[in-house]
Each structure stands twice: as C-alpha cells, then as structure tokens.
Chain A
Amino acid sequence: MSARIKATGLTLDVPIFLQREREPEHEGKGWAGIFRGAAFDPPRRRLTRLLDDLNFDVQEGDRLAILGRNGAGKSTLLRVLNRVYQPTSGSLQVEGSCQALLNMSLGFNGEATVRENIFLRGVAMGLRSSFLADQVEPILDFSGLRAKVGHRLRTLSAGQKMRLGFAISTSIQHDIMLMDEWVGAGDSDFMAKAKERMQNRVGGSKIVVLASHSMGLLRDICNKGIVLEGGRLVYAGDVMGSLKFYQGLMARVRAAGDAQDEGVEDSGAGAPFGAFEEIRAEGPGRFLVRGWMVDNHGVAHEGLVLEVDGGRYPAHGFERVMRPDVMRHFGLSSDACGFLARVDIPGLSSLAEMPAGLRLLGGVDTESADAELRIAPAVRAAVGRG
C-alpha cells in the first residue's frame, strides 16, 4: 500500500479560554488581587484559528520538515495529521499506517506493572495482544528494564519511563512517522541504541514528518520542508529553501526587536551545532582548533571550550573563517560561521599526549558553552595515540 498525506484548505479553529486582564488600578496590590481575580473571574471563550488554509501534498519517500517559531502551529499540525484534531474545514487524506512519537512518557497506568503497561500501551497502539506477547522480551531488553518487569510503573524514574515509552512506540515499523523534535534522552548507552533504532525506523518509513528547530537534524533527515507562521503556510519547497526562508524569517524577527519575541529566546537559540574539524599543536601547551559552529537560527557564536579529561579549557584568540560550503549546505544567510581558535592546556606538550575522550563545546560565551560539536575523523585520528 502506498503512503500519502494530502491536505487541502486545512483549517483548524479551536476554542480557547481567556482570563480577563484586569486594570491594575482597580485591583488590590500584590498577590491578593491576582488570586481574587483567579477565583471570581469566569474564563471567556473565544475561537482561535490555529491552522489557516494549509495546502500541501506529501508523497511516498518524502521526509517533510516542519519549520516555524514556537506557537506557529507545528505541534498542532502534527496532531491533526495524527487524526487527534479534526479539521474545522478543508480536507485531509492520510494513507498508510501512522505512528506519532509525540509524548512517550504518557499513557501509562502508574499502579500497574511494567509488563502490564507494555500490553496496555501496545493495545492502545492497536496491536494484538498475541503479537505483543512476543514483543515483551525485546521491549524489555531494549529499554534495559528487565529487572523492573514486576515493579509498579510509578516507581520508575522519568528517564526509565521515557525509555519504556520509546521502546514500545518504536517496536514496530509504520508507513508514516510523525515526530515533534527528535526523540531520545537518557544515558549515553541508551542514546546510542535509540539513535540506531530511530535511524532504522526513519529509514523504513515511507513518509516522515519532523517538526524541529534543529537545522542540522532537519538537513540530515529531510528532503522537503514547509514553514509555518501564525498558522499559515508561508513557504513550501525543498528542505534547503525552507531552511533558508526560515532563517530569513528569524533574521527579520530579530531585526524587529528580539526582546519581545520569546520565540527566539526559548526555541533553542543557545543550542549551537557544528563540527570540530581539526586540531594542531602550536607549541608547548597551546593547541589550535578549527571548525564551524552556528545555532538553530543561523547565528554564529564565539564561545568555545575544549573539554579534556573533565577539565574545561576556554578558547581564546577567536578568528572568523568564511565557510561558503556550510552556508550552502544549511541555507544560511551568511558564510561567517567558521572559526579558528587557540586553547592553552598547561602540561600537555603534544597531540600524542592528548587523551582520546576530548570534546569541543560551543555556546554564546565560554561560560555557558555546553553543546558538543561533531568530531571529525581527522581529529580523532590526531589525538590519543600516546
């Protein structure tokens, strides 16, 4: 069976409840007024248009990126595609079995055991219990919860619940996969497994729809993209064009005054990504690092820290390097995203003495730098031979 998603004039109106904003001068000062207002003001009901006349067509083999600021309607659109919200008007055609990886820690019965919850979630996904009986063991293995099988679910940690939810949700292959950000959190051992499983699932899906702010991820996975703004479709095309359009949009938003716009602040602006491409010894205790780094809005930052054996060594002597190749790849608006910087590590005289587990972390400044840049094979080969 072929898979396809076709939306024509898709519109969703949602009733929302507003609390009346009171004039401050009528109100008692401090918290008393707030609580009195909360107690006696009934909320008002108003219709809000979350999605406005969307038209798009996703064919088999497409990997669709949904871009947009916070509140632009990305998650809502995924819920509509998952058939949770019915469109107010317009039509939506979804062919193929569909699995959404939206909130995986939910949908459990906290008092039931892990094994019972595997069955509960499985049948809620529409699987047969006879089929699930064979799946219990692989799911337990994958989530690493074999020792917990008879425990009540509420005794598990949040991370363990997430692992269990992930293992169940991804236990079978569907035609269409809907994702809100890339899933997977937990210890590094589980992350490695989760990454492999996700790549398999994404590879095996006929259609993938991924909403994310992470440009590197979208560039890696998707081939098509749409950009939403205020519930409207403002761009549709290939993923490069979409990323470029989105970054243009973000640049205009920043120029218009980023202070009011919380979308810029909390949508992962402080989460740069990039590559650590080269490391050279420049003299005793001084090393030169080269690579590129950009955040999810296309802004290049200058905070770099080299982490060696758990010690943080801030970089200095930061130099910009033009990287038109990176700009083209991600559809950036500027090519000033490469860097060349120096790190002093007293006591290390050569690269051969550098331990292999080094990481280059990027961020807005050296204090807050915590995003690991991808390490190129050349760096790996250069260090840790001593």
Chain B
Amino acid sequence: MTDAQDVQKNVPIKHSARGGFWQELAISLRNPEFWAMSSWLDILVRARKSRLGILWLMAPALVYVYGLGFFFASMQGQPLAKFAAHVGLGAMVFRTLMSTIVGSANVFIASQSFIMDGHVRLTDYLLQSLAKSFFDFCMYLPIVVIALVTFRQVDPVGLLLAPFTLALLYVNALWISAVFSLIGARFADFGQLLSNASVFLFLLTPIIWYPDMMPADSTRGQLMRFNPFYHFVSLFRGPILGEPVEPMTYWFLGVMTVGGLVLATFAYRRYARFVPLWI
C-alpha cells in the first residue's frame, strides 16, 4: 500500500472549541482553501452544465442592462446610453447584495453534509456565499463597463470611490449573511420568503427608474427610503454617474453597518452552536 500519509506535520488540529464571530472569521480568512474552493467549484459546476459555459453567467447582466434598460428607457423618454449606465450600476449592486442574502439563507442547509461531518467553523460557509456573490458581481462588470463607456460622462473621482463603496457593501454583506444564515438554518422557509421578496425589492429600488420621481415627503418616497437597497445603490452609483446622493444615505448606512455588525456578533455567539441541530 502506498502510504505517504503518515506525515504528521500535515495533519491539522481541525476543530478547536468554537470561538466568537470575529475569531472564527479571522481563522477562516487565514485558511481560505475550503471556502474558496467550494464556492469556485459551485460556480464552475453551474457553468459546466451548459454549452455556452461561463458566458451564460453574463446573460442576466445583458438582459437587465440592455433588455430591461432599452424597454424602460424608451418608456420614460431617456437616452439609452445614460439609462443603461444607470440600470447597469444599480442592478449590479442590487444583484450582488440580493444573491448574498438569498444564498446565505440557504448556505447551512446546502452545506449540511460538511457541517455534520465535523467542519463546523461556520464563518467558512458565510465567506463561501460572499465569494459566490462577488463572482456574480464580476460577471456584471464587462456589461457595466460597456454601458459606462457608451455613456461617456463618467465622473473619474466617483470611479475612484467605487472600490471603497464596494468594501462597505461587503462589510454589510458579511453581517447580513451571518444573521440571515442563522435565521435560514432555523426556519427553512426563510429562503423562499426572501426570493419572493426580491422581486418586490427590485422594483422598489430605483434601478429601472429615477429616485427623483419619488419626493421625500410622499408616502412612496418614504417607502423607498426605508429600503436599504436604495441607499446602497445610490451610494455606489451616484458618484460615478454624477447623480445626487442624499445626506440621509450616509446616516442610514453608517448606522446600519455598525448596528448590523454588533447584531451579527451577538447572534453568532448565541445561536451558531444550534445550527447543526437545526439543519
């Protein structure tokens, strides 16, 4: 028998007792192999089933930006180049966040066999769903770049800000996935609920329309401003396209980021140990 396996130094000390959210997150980030590989495999596998392969993954972006974009641009009497850039950036941010949320609500259930096999550092699975949504984000990039190039009035300073906004977006995605994955593990129908809500949220977010159609003092305007997606989308898109960003957006996102991280820390500490029992 070819036993090269008694290499004790390669034998990891696998699961130490469970730590807090940040501690486990730090370990997960230092040991990216599992979550990076499993999310990459999931993506590859999705593409592999089809003949067009990875090109299929770009199809949603194309449909949103130039399909929906074309239709609603002519309906609202907007020039396509301007409207396509508006839709492209909006849809990109929305999809990234929404796929994190829907994905994380199901991530523990989908990873059941690994969890039950003793791989219980749950932050690995959170990062896995973040990595997958980041890939979706990247799949939007080519189409969005085309839309921005044809628009030709891109603010370079806004473009420089975009990576920082993206980082903020992912800090939020992190706590959202931590909280929502725990809820999703406890209540199996939560993922269903979220995917149903996503259509409504998409239409409630100014992606295929302009926020100035909803003044702040109207009921609809307030409903829009209660929608976190509105703030994320407008913070990311506004500086690039030279659209105004309301001061309320900064406050909203600031409070949400801090509050969410605190919530995630406590929720994870309190409930993570129940996840194997729930799924």
Contacts and interface: CB of A to CB of B under 8 A. Distances in A.
Given A126-B14, A138-B5, A83 B118 contact: yes
Contacts of B42: 109
A103 B41 contact: no
A89 interface: no
B38 A111 contact: no
A116 B43 CA distance: 13
B120 A84 contact: yes
B271 to A, nearest CB: 11
B5 A135 contact: yes
Interface in A298-352: none
Contacts of B45: 109, 111-112
Interface in B1-48: 1-8, 10-15, 17-18, 33-34, 37-38, 41-42, 44-45, 48
Given A120-B41, A134-B4, A84 B10 contact: no
B2 A86 contact: no
Contact of B277 (A14, A103, A125): A14
Contact of A84 (B5, B34, B44, B115): B115
A331 to B, nearest CB: 32
Interface string B107-145: 000000111111110000000000000000000000000
Nearest to B33: A123
Contacts of A367: none
A84 B118 contact: yes
Contacts of A14: 277
B12 A82 contact: no
Contacts of A172: 5-7, 10-11
Interface residues of A, number: 45
Contact of B117 (A97, A106, A134): A106
Given A172-B10, A173-B6, A196-B1, A86 B273 contact: yes
B221 interface: no
B158 interface: no
Given A138-B2, A172-B10, A119 B37 contact: yes
Given A109-B42, A123-B33, A126-B14, A102 B117 contact: yes
A106 B113 contact: yes
A14 to B, nearest CB: 5
B44 A86 contact: no
B118 A100 contact: yes
Greatest chain A CB density within 10 A among B3, B11, B44 is at B11
Nearest to A170: B5
A120 B37 contact: yes
7 smallest CB-CB distances across A and B, nearest first, come from A106-B113, A111-B45, A86-B273, A126-B12, A107-B113, A126-B14, A82-B118
10 contacts: A109-B45, A124-B34, A124-B38, A126-B34, A138-B4, A141-B2, A171-B5, A172-B10, A193-B1, A200-B1
